[in-house]
A = this chain, B = another copy of it.
């Protein structure tokens, strides 16, 4: 089963944690794709270059200069990760969505919020990805995509990039061969109380998610992550987990498994 693992920005930004994660990731059996963020570094480099960062609902407003910075920063991080993986014996190839038209996107409409050069994925060149994986490569993907209308670069949410790749790589697969999507970050999973590591919710289906959302237990950045997770399941991804980066080597990854809705009789 192909694994698509997304590693969050707070791990990428911490050299020791990143190296520990990459050692575990390199040792994972089977075919795998790593999608990474890098937003914290992008914000720091922007500040050093005198470019102010504006975030709306956790998403970066990307003007032309900011696009240049994120293209530099994310692809620089990409090559640092690729070289570290080679040092760990993993034959990595780093790509962004523009390479071989891996992820073609469309610029988001400027209403109700104008995010600038930000795009949502339209298609994934899964044949290109499969070809590289079949040749023994592990793909490392930076969240920069190719604008279908202009051929320019667009900044794209890394969770969405991972979900889109997982869906595309699950198409035409039998259920058992469908890919697995693992969101790794600095927390232990989806938690009832973000300050209590023991409050991890081991399993969430849509009904439970609706309750957690209306009670306010799950909020802010976790909402789009869970929406991405459910969308992946709905579109054929075999399994979706949200877990701590340090648990990637553990069987089942701990954390929170995202489930399809139960039927009235309690089965899926």
Contact = CB atoms under 8 A, between A and B. Distances in A.
B151 A88 contact: yes
Nearest to A136: B100
Of A50, A82, A144, most buried by chain B (CB within 10 Å of CB) is A82
12 contacts: A48-B49, A68-B76, A71-B80, A72-B72, A72-B76, A75-B75, A75-B78, A79-B144, A83-B152, A87-B150, A93-B99, A94-B95
Task: List 4 A-B pairs, minimum CB-CB distance, nearest first.
Answer: A87-B151, A72-B76, A75-B75, A72-B72
Given A71-B76, A79-B75, A131-B135, A87 B144 contact: no
A207 to B, nearest CB: 42
Interface in A36-95: 45, 48-50, 68, 71-73, 75-76, 78-80, 82-84, 86-88, 91-95
B100 A93 contact: yes
Interface string A99-143: 111000000000000000000000000001001000101000000
A82 B99 CA distance: 7
A151 B101 contact: no
A98 interface: yes
Contacts of A168: none
B48 A79 contact: no
Given A73-B72, A87-B150, A87-B152, A94 B101 contact: no
Given A75-B75, A79-B144, 17 more contacts: A45-B49, A48-B49, A68-B76, A71-B76, A71-B80, A72-B72, A72-B75, A75-B79, A76-B76, A79-B96, A82-B96, A83-B153, A86-B98, A87-B150, A87-B151, A93-B100, A94-B96
